[in-house]
A and B are shown apart, each in its own frame.
Chain A
């Protein structure tokens, strides 16, 4: 078992370090049963909920571009109480823990939503999604609000470009784990309508940026860090583990190649097992984690993969 939260009364253990990121399986992950073996995963984070219902965004919501896409949905949901009523019976039967992603809008909303989730069957924890412009002071207030009437394990998802800036505040306020990170926002032109659309941007390119953020955060964090962004292979996921992540969350690969998600979960499950037993690293897929050049790489070259040592502005 892997403890993905700080030890103590709000602790959460999962069997596999591979989780599903918020929104990727909606509110009813059992829909994915025909596409992959859910029980091979560590945990699933639901789509975002808010205290009150939210409608979907108007206008173009999706812009495809080379190497990824931009999505702006407005985070539609029926409001926390209706969501619980409809989906809690499904969550209860889930073979893996279900965490509910809560939109951290304002402190009262967070407090009442967390209270509702506390009493809901099948909810193993909360992932609080901070908005991009949150300040450390607001982060503290939001986490305190969530904690006021709720004892569930509380993961806090940080916005990518402010992850380092907000992490300490989240930890100090009582977050049980940090999720790095929410994808950044971007703007792209929708070819069909000709309009510029703003939204979150996804794709394999995200991994390089999130990996850096994770590598920078881990040495300073006293609580587990869960990496989320751009995982498309077992190697991607292992890179996060190597950088110190306790677990990983898979995002849009769940939509594009769901069967790959199971392969990654099996792969990292094997890695965890062999590590715990002190055995040789598991090679579930031949060649995993190795590159052709690795063996010939000079062993004593300095490495600063996550540091700010390179101050030049060149590529």
Chain B
């Protein structure tokens, strides 16, 4: 259930050259149960709210961690008005041991909470970063994560091996390129695995969200079940059910 609440920025920390991490003390205890895949809509002074994507919790300090590319700077003590949680948590398939997270030429933040949670559950995680995703400071990731860097925006080394190894795949790219980047992967996978299990290949849609409630239709994704708002039914959709054409 979406709610309006406040948070105080307790700490800001720079990550590498281009990223920052904010520690947020949230007013509403319900937000402590936010799950990977869900986001918050933050009032940062622009007319529309900005997607703030949690990457985890610091349970010792009791704060939510948010990561952003550097840009606007925040100061500790700043109070931020939030709406959330927005979206449906990512659904890991039953029995997943090998998780492949693929970020094609896009900011990887949307998948990092899932990455940390999967590591906690002792899954083996491989993270593929191509294009601008390579700018993410990977030294901040847990060392057990295998990171593969791809020089081309749309592909990566050992693609077939990683796709065969994975029990589930999460793909993330700019929504406007989802069609041209996800379709070739469906084709490759169909050669490797004749029957793709339901939910095996998840496409994540990271879009601006004016309302976060499914009302405004700005974040609609065309699927075989009709037009579905990414802010309610997403952000992840089974790629085989996407209607690109």
Contact = CB atoms under 8 A, between A and B. Distances in A.
B70 interface: no
Interface residues of A, number: 38
Interface stretch (B9-17, B59-67, B141-149, B218-226): B218-226
B210 A24 contact: no
Size range of the interface on B?
Answer: 20 to 34
A137 interface: no
Contact of A76 (B3, B47, B81, B227): B227
Nearest to A28: B214
B4 interface: yes
B213 A67 contact: no
Interface string B195-225: 0000000000001101111111110101000
A192 interface: yes
Contact of A64 (B1, B46, B81, B83): B46
A32 B212 CA distance: 11
Nearest to B210: A255
A136 interface: no
Contacts of B46: 64
Interface string A61-82: 1101011110101111010000
B167 interface: no
A25 B47 contact: no
B211 A255 contact: yes
A73 B217 contact: yes
Contact of A56 (B2, B215, B217): B217
A65 to B, nearest CB: 8
Contact of A24 (B215, B220, B222, B226): B215
B43 A193 contact: no
Contacts of B48: 64, 69, 255-256
A78 B226 contact: yes
B220 A256 contact: no
A31 B222 contact: no
B31 interface: no
Interface of A: 23-26, 28, 31-32, 34-35, 47, 55-56, 59-62, 64, 66-69, 71, 73-76, 78, 192-193, 203-204, 252, 254-259
Interface of B: 1-4, 43, 46-49, 81, 83, 174, 176, 207-208, 210-218, 220, 222, 226-227
